[in-house]
Amino acid sequence: MVAAAATLPTDDPHPETDGHRWGMVIDSDKCTGCQACVVACQSENNLALNEENRVIERRAKTWIRIERYWEGEWPNAKARFLPVLCQHCGNAPCETVCPVWATYHNPDGLNVQVYNRCIGTRFCANACPYSVRYFNFWEPEWPSPMDRQLNPDVTVRTKGIVEKCTFCIHRINRTKREADRDGRPVADGEVEPACVQACPTTALVFGDLNDSDSKVSELSNSKRAYSLLDALGTTPAITYLKKVDPSHVDEHEEHGH
Amino acid sequence: MLDAFRALLPRLSPKQLIVISGLGAVLGGGAIAPVILLVVLGAMGGTITGPPEQPIAFDHSVHVGKAGIACEFCHRGIPVVGNTATAMSAPVSAAATIPSVEQCMFCHAVVATDSPEVQKIRAAWETGTPIDWVRVHRLPDHVDFVHDPHIRALAETHPSFTTAQICATCHGDVASMTEVEQVRALNMGDCQGCHRENSAPLDCAVCHK
């Protein structure tokens, strides 16, 4: 038991990271709501198709979703888009409620879900303020020939367990191993989760927050930076950048900003 | 002894176990309890189940032991390490990979062509059908095992090892096996035991995907 405890990194909610703290910056000014990230994620991570019924039952699974908000009244209405995925909180509400340590904080600062450990209490999904944890109510099924294109690097989750965005940890692990083999550090921008890779406007940027020269570090210090539900103190690894609205900018300038 | 005994028993899923144990409880335990114990032991026995029957009687002891063919000549996914490697090895791959029919035909177009087993290879080659080798080692879907870092680490810690000896750490002495069989548990405790000894990562997310 004592030896096993050493392998459970959840004792400390903020374990010392051994070099990396993966994070993302989402520029809402660049997001056009095109859903390319959603599709990329769906196929990369073996998510079953969200048929109409699943959506009506409100049981569709999308590890990343584009939330759409309307601002103003027709005809001057503006659509606002907000991609929401697991925030990989530094202080994650989901981690403390899991009775079996199936979700924990790994040394890279990721919030990890160990599927085979999960017993499906759904406490984590209820505790998550961002609603980004999804319960598998059914065995996943793909119509032929889509069952032939599953990603072998990602487990197909069975009925009865909770799943969520992993920041494409299989890509992170692979890149780290490749860098290790070549005896060099992981370069900035070398790891790209599927959503980041698919984004046509580079609204999503991924990288190491512990590397002060990385693009994510630079962007997350922007004046436009904020985190979702900041007041909850979850310290997300995802930073959002506010929309640059010309009308608002003018207004600010008039007020001397 | 216990392992050999477990090998005789079926490997069951937790669900099947629950059903069987439940059945046992309902039937009143007494007589059936030893049976349940056997089944549970069998399930705990991991994947060690003796050599499966292969479509062609391929013999490692002939090819490696007698013919002196290097492991990486056939299992091309393993990395190039030290001076034991040949130019044949692919740079990197998670799987060691099983050779294609074409690779057998390098030699068996001329070697032992009158053997009925080798004629099966020729038939597969001529009809363009792959040989359905049965997997000996198979980790569950949720485990991510990669050969590359292991071969490198073992080559580094044991500079005198040949490739075959490196493989033997986990696969036993394949070079002298007539039929390949799993000799090491390769379950979570086994993986973690070696990782702990070698200060390799113990983070769940390294092995589980």
What is d(CA B130, CA B102) in angstroms, rounded to the nearest whole number? 10
Neighbours of A11 (CB within 10 A): 9
What per-residue confidence (pLDDT) applies to A223? 92
The arithmetic mean of pLDDT across residues A98-117, rounded, is: 93
What per-residue confidence (pLDDT) applies to A245? 73
Which stretches does DSSP call E strand in A103-232? 103-105, 111-113, 134-135, 162-163, 204-208, 225-226
Give contacts of B192 with chain A, Cβ < 8 Å. 7
Angle at A105 between CA A101 and CA A107, to 5 degrees: 130
Q: Does A104 touch chain B (CB under 8 A)?
A: yes
Sequence letter at residue A218: E
Helix (H) or strand (E) holding A67: strand A65-71
Size of interface A-B (CB pairs under 8 A): 49
**Cβ pair B109, B92 in contact under 8 A:** no
* Residues of chain B under the 50 pLDDT cut: 1-19, 22, 24, 26, 28-31, 33-47, 83-90
Structure tokens at B109: 């177009």
What is d(CA B163, CA B76) in angstroms, rounded to the nearest whole number? 12
Give contacts of B79 with chain A, Cβ < 8 Å. 181
Angle at A236 between CA A33 and CA A186, to 5 degrees: 85
- Residue A256 pLDDT grade (very low, low, confident, very high; cuts 50, 70, 90): very low
CATH class given for the domain over A32-199: alpha beta
For B148, the closest of A107, A110, A181 (CB atoms) is: A181
Neighbours of A188 (CB within 10 A): 17
Give contacts of A153 with chain B, Cβ < 8 Å. 144, 209
Rounded to two decimals, the ipTM of the complex is 0.79
**Cβ pair A188, A2 in contact under 8 A:** no
**Cβ pair A137, B192 in contact under 8 A:** no
What is d(CA B50, CA B170) in angstroms, rounded to the nearest whole number? 15
Is the CB of B209 less than 8 angstroms away from the CB of A170? yes
pLDDT of A115 higher than 90 = yes
What is d(CA A20, CA A207) in angstroms, rounded to the nearest whole number? 9
* Chain B residue with the nearest C-alpha to that of A101: B204
What per-residue confidence (pLDDT) applies to B175? 92
**Residue ranges of the domains in chain A?**
32-199
Taking only the tens place, the pLDDT of each residue in B21-72 is 545 454 544 445 444 444 444 444 444 567 888 999 999 999 998 899 989 8
How close B208 comes to chain A (CA, Å)?
7
Give contacts of B149 with chain A, Cβ < 8 Å. 177, 180-181
Strand A238-241 to strand A22-27: parallel, antiparallel, or no bridges (unpaired)?
parallel
Is the CB of A6 less than 8 angstroms away from the CB of B206? no
Q: Mean pLDDT in chain A?
A: 88
The arithmetic mean of pLDDT across residues A47-61, rounded, is: 91
pLDDT of A108 higher than 70 = yes
The arithmetic mean of pLDDT across residues A151-156, rounded, is: 92
Is the CB of B204 less than 8 angstroms away from the CB of A3? no
Helix (H) or strand (E) holding A40: helix A36-44
Taking only the tens place, the pLDDT of each residue in A196-213 is 999 999 999 999 999 999
In Å, what is the CA distance from B69 to each residue of A112, A166, B73, B75, B163?
Answer: 43, 42, 7, 11, 11
Weakest mean pLDDT among A26-40, A83-97, A234-248: A234-248
What is d(CA A184, CA A176) in angstroms, rounded to the nearest whole number? 9
Sequence letter at residue A160: G
Q: Which DSSP letter does residue A115 get?
A: G
What is d(CA B85, CA B96) in angstroms, rounded to the nearest whole number? 14
Q: In angstroms, how far is CA B34 from the centroid of its own chain? A: 31
**Cβ pair A197, A210 in contact under 8 A:** no
**Cβ pair A79, A237 in contact under 8 A:** no
Q: In angstroms, how far is CA A240 from the centroid of its own chain? A: 12
The arithmetic mean of pLDDT across residues A248-256, rounded, is: 50
The arithmetic mean of pLDDT across residues A223-246, rounded, is: 92
**Phi, psi (degrees; rounded to nearest 5) at A219:** -65, -35
Sequence letter at residue A174: R
